[in-house]
A and B are shown apart, each in its own frame.
Chain A
Amino acid sequence: MLIQKQDLQMLALRKKKVLVLGVIVALGFALLFLRLFFMQVINGRYFRHVADENRIQRVYKKASRGVIYDHRHVVLAANSPSFVVTFTSYYINQNEIDRIAGELGRILAIPAGDIVEKSVGSVKRLEPVIVAEDITREQALVIMEKKAYLPGVDVIIEPKRSYPLNNLACHVVGYVGEINLDEYKERRGTGYSIGDRIGKTGIEAYYDTYLKGTNGEEQIEVSASGRQLRLLRETAPVSGSDLELTIDADLQRVAQDALGGVSGAAVVMNPRTGEILALASSPAFNPNMFLRSMSRDEFAYLFKNKNRPLFNKAIQAQYPPGSVFKVVTASACLQEGYVVPEEKLECTGQYTLGTLNQVFRCWKKGGHGHISLIQAIAQSCDIYFYQLGLRLGVTKMANYAKNFGLGSLTGIDLPSEKKGIIPDRAWKKKAVKEAWYDGDTLNMCIGQGYLWVTPLQIAGMMSAAANYGPYYRPQIVKKIIAPDGKVIRDFKTEQDGEVQLDRSNWQLVRQGLEESVKAGTGRAAYIQGLRVAGKTGTAQNPQGLDHAWFAGYAPADDPRIVVVVLVEHGGHGGVVCAPIARKIMEVYFKEAGTGQIQVAPDEVGD
């Protein structure tokens, strides 16, 4: 065959064209090669991690929460077994998920949409997600029977928090709830995971790290269809530590009952140690409500009621102390030498201040006449204290108040404590942008005006009086006990501060307090056969009726308990609070009250 020139040209052209094709082909392969390099060499580690996540299913074994009991081991917070339904939806297609959710919804009488949302919407789709809790034994049995038709669904038994005494010490113990996203972010890396229950308030929150224990975990290798192939690793859950409180359940019950649902608070404390025997805020709530689905009424009660049941008024609410503050004024004046016990000042029922002719009144319209210190404390004479207050001045008064622990946190082991306000010149300038006037001093020396304290701070103040000076950090938890019975922490008494007063001055103040209960405004707290000392208070406030106070201790010669009672908008402390304090003390000292002492409102005005 002859090869012509034309054919050779054709051949060369064809070669060129095939080579163009070759270049395109090579480019395609280069692209694949680069992509492979990028995915396997550069990003290999990332994809390896994702592949591991893919095949390993983590199933958490919830740890049992530590038990909380009072100092006599009466259980306040425990755990009870609860049936929980979990659903692992990752390996199941959408139609099946809808069918399973429908079936579950029918058995449990909950909307199927909720189940789908919970399981598919969860952050941890690979793991079992709790779709229903606390189901009945019957429901659990039905689900177990149908398990073959409900792939991905499991019924497990989990320890669940319960509060066997319902509302008893609810504000102290607090309650638990599911961790929310913000709380989780705060605690990331400290052993918390999504879906955990954590303490939201009270001891449950304050000591959560001790109580929660450590969840166990099973790492199971699963196939793409969700079939569990083998256990890769298993760690057993470790229960949380138990807490022994200083609270006395009986006394707590008495305090709560004595408050009887009015809006207020009561604190019972051992002045020698700071141990809190009872800490009540009223109205109370049942923490078990947070562990099940709430009714509309319950929800409204908890969150809409104007008396704010969830608020711990003993440490979180701040009030003017009223005449209870006269303990501070009297102590300061005695120690600073502005008054001697024999000096009598006149009370005409009203007091005119300076050139502006501002008139300040005593609670007793007719006045107390000429009156000495002890009687002034006992009768809570305002005019007497106005004159003392002017002698003392705001600076010294504020300093003494601070020495008594007012205006700063007591350091109690409960969350969200408030510290109140002790005003002085500098404070007023900053907060109100005004100078300090003598009128402010008059208001302050009888516990009015800008003063704000919490009932717990008043308990500290009374402890100082009861102890001749020192007072101690209030304490709720006595011991933390590990699951193996070992005491991890044994909280010791811790001095919080000391008021430096001559013993003779203390004795005068204490005499006044004892006299107050014996024959003064605190008579309603009188118990035959027991020397009770105390001070009443009535704090005016713009929101409505006066807040009523009583703060006292007993026995007066050797105080063993301090009792502080506050009733919001209760009126006169001597009328409303003193009887409540008496009931508490009666139980504590096992002394039956002999003959009720009725006090007419007009007789006792403070």
Chain B
Amino acid sequence: MRSLQDSIRFDYWLFGSMFLVCIMGILGIFSIVYKNPGPIPTSILIKQVFAFAIGLLVIVFYLQSNYPTLKKYASGFYITSIVLLLLVLVLGTKVRGARSWFTLGFFSFQPSELAKLAFIMFMAKFIEETPDWHGWRDLIWPFVFLMIPVGLILLQPDFGSTLVFFPVCLAMLYVGGCNSKYLLSLTTIGGLTSLLLLTRTYAELKGNVGDNFLINIATNINYALVFLLVVFAIAWAVYFFLKKMKYDVEIKQFLAGISVVSIGILGAHLFSYFLKVYQKKRLVVFLDPYLDPLGSGYNIIQSKIAVGSGALAGKGLLYGTQSRLGFLPEQHTDFIFSVLAEQFGFIGSALLVLLLFVIVWRGIIIATQARDEFGALVASGIVTMFTFHIFLNIGMTLGMMPITGIPLPLVSYGGSSLVMNMFAIGILLNIRMKRFFY
């Protein structure tokens, strides 16, 4: 009876969407390599189909299992991924300046892909086993668990791959019941730092962008410090005033607020100090591709042309001039979405976005239906990971997000990424199937 129950509870929407998305990715890769004398080898098509087949096997195999068993393996999984991240720094193959890959003959493997999933499981286990949340001290351990893989991936260095860990961690803590106040503070710090870093970098590279409050705060450390002092003084005065008026206020709240603003502002200055010029360019070039029209801006310009020129109905399969003639860079990985959008137009690209949305939306539903907290947490983590990747990747191809080199899940070429993402879908399917299994 179990298999019948399972087949009833099997999420056909989720699996079907995933299947179609993968097929579209394979079609995109086909259109790049088919009878094209460009630099991208035809073998990647076979590799991707092969990885897709493995992914399907992984799903089928995993559906036989029961997801709560993951709890047992979560710690081991996490530690294994940390060990692999350490090993790759020594034994890895250097590809475009980053040591992120193990190469084993035909097969190559990117441990950071594994680390994302391992982190989600480990965090879910940890949060579930933490019965109560008291204060900010509870955030220390999650922070440590987060920074170990992030730090190791930064050493490769692969800045883009680390980004996804932060929203995943935040979302899981939120769902797991951590005090929203702290999470909101962290989000504010992150948002403020990002905004000021972008402003500062844009002002630096563009030069002569005028001068307003935001730009001054972002570019001038003295200005920022004076501003913080003034804010501090005012806050202090307000605090004493309220105290005198016999209002019940705590000094802690004021200090916390000021700390959030201070860390946000100073964080931007600190980050800016560590970024190299090419990284800065990649960060803000989406705001103005002509800051670097022959370098990173070129990618943005060509990608926007590719997507836009697809228009409503597209140029047709194999008729994408931007991709077939090589104007589009990194077409099989970072810019696979542009390849598809050029050939299939708005009809095709909107369909792809819709299918991806169905995947994450089913993930959300599954998270609400999960029979235990662990399942809900894992599902939330996976949904956040997918959404973040999708938004950053497609956003980049549309010129609305910085260049981070993040692939489009299930679509971009890359075996380890495809298999791991399909495994993640498998976990979601399993969480749904076992939701009433008591």
Contacts and interface: CB of A to CB of B under 8 A. Distances in A.
A109 interface: no
A21 B384 contact: yes
B368 interface: yes
B311 interface: yes
19 contacts: A17-B177, A21-B380, A29-B387, A29-B390, A29-B391, A31-B391, A32-B390, A32-B391, A32-B394, A32-B398, A36-B307, A36-B398, A39-B398, A47-B307, A51-B308, A51-B321, A52-B321, A224-B326, A224-B327
Contacts of A422: none
Given A15-B368, A44-B308, A54-B327, A21 B346 contact: no
B350 A18 contact: no
Contacts of A22: 361, 364
A311 to B, nearest CB: 45
Contacts of A39: 304, 307-308, 398
A519 interface: no
B411 interface: no
A40 B321 contact: no
B62 to A, nearest CB: 22
Contact of A25 (B305, B321, B322, B360): B360
A508 to B, nearest CB: 79
B106 to A, nearest CB: 29
B341 interface: yes
Contact of A51 (B175, B177, B305, B345): B305
Interface in A67-83: none
Main SS at interface, chain A: helix
Contacts of B95: none
Closest 10 CB pairs of A and B: A47-B308, A44-B311, A51-B309, A224-B326, A40-B346, A22-B364, A47-B309, A224-B327, A18-B367, A48-B309
B331 to A, nearest CB: 11
A28 interface: yes
B107 interface: no
Contact of A36 (B327, B353, B380): B353
B236 to A, nearest CB: 35
Nearest to A226: B326
A45 interface: yes
Given A21-B384, A33-B353, 14 more contacts: A14-B177, A15-B368, A18-B379, A18-B380, A25-B361, A25-B364, A25-B383, A25-B387, A29-B360, A36-B346, A47-B311, A55-B327, A223-B327, A224-B326
A142 interface: no
Contacts of A14: 175, 177, 368, 373, 376
Contact of A21 (B175, B312, B326): B175
Given A21-B364, A25-B383, A47 B376 contact: no
Contacts of B312: 40-41, 44
Interface string B316-351: 000001100111100000000000011001100110
Contacts of B390: 28-29, 32
A437 interface: no
Main SS at interface, chain B: helix
A183 to B, nearest CB: 29
B178 to A, nearest CB: 10
Interface string A210-240: 0000000000011111000100000000000
Interface residues of B, number: 50
B337 to A, nearest CB: 10
A222 B341 contact: no
Contact of B326 (A13, A18, A225): A225
Given A21-B174, A47-B304, A32 B294 contact: no
Interface of A: 1, 10, 13-15, 17-22, 25-26, 28-29, 31-33, 35-37, 39-41, 43-48, 50-52, 54-55, 93-94, 221-225, 229
B368 A47 contact: no
Contact of B387 (A10, A28, A41): A28
B327 A19 contact: no
B179 to A, nearest CB: 12
B175 A17 contact: yes
A26 B308 CA distance: 23
A36 B325 contact: no
B325 A229 contact: yes
B400 interface: yes
Interface in B356-378: 356-357, 360-361, 364, 367-368, 373, 376
Contacts of B368: 14-15, 18-19
B171 interface: yes
B175 A35 contact: no
Contact of A13 (B177, B294, B384): B177
Contacts of A47: 304-305, 307-311
B177 A44 contact: no
Contact of A40 (B341, B356, B357): B341
Contact of B171 (A21, A29, A31): A21
A460 B78 CA distance: 104
A51 B322 contact: yes
A94 B322 CA distance: 22
Given A22-B364, A39-B304, A51-B305, A223 B325 contact: yes
Nearest to B323: A224
B438 interface: yes
Nearest to B373: A14
Nearest to B325: A223
Given A48-B309, A50-B305, A36 B349 contact: yes
Contacts of B387: 25, 28-29
A38 B350 CA distance: 12
Given A28-B387, A50-B305, A41 B361 contact: no
Interface string B371-407: 0010010011001100100110011001010000000
Contacts of B342: 51
Contacts of B346: 36-37, 40-41, 44
B45 interface: no
Given A35-B398, A40-B349, A54 B321 contact: yes
Contacts of B321: 51-52, 54-55
Contacts of B309: 44, 47-48, 50-51
B305 A54 contact: yes
B69 to A, nearest CB: 17
Contacts of B357: 26, 29
Contact of B383 (A10, A13, A21, A51): A21
Contacts of A94: 294
B117 interface: no
A472 B302 CA distance: 64
A28 B167 CA distance: 13
B364 A18 contact: yes
B422 interface: no
Nearest to A39: B308
B410 interface: no
B391 A40 contact: no
A55 B324 CA distance: 10
A51 to B, nearest CB: 4
Contacts of A33: 350, 353
Contacts of A10: 177, 373
Given A25-B360, A37-B346, A43 B398 contact: no
Contacts of A46: 308
A227 to B, nearest CB: 9
Contacts of A222: 325
Contact of A28 (B310, B350, B391): B391
A47 B211 CA distance: 33
Contacts of A29: 353, 356-357, 360, 387, 390-391
A94 B295 CA distance: 10
A22 B174 CA distance: 13
Contacts of B300: none
A294 B252 CA distance: 80
B306 interface: yes
Contacts of B367: 18, 21
A20 B384 CA distance: 12
A44 B305 CA distance: 9
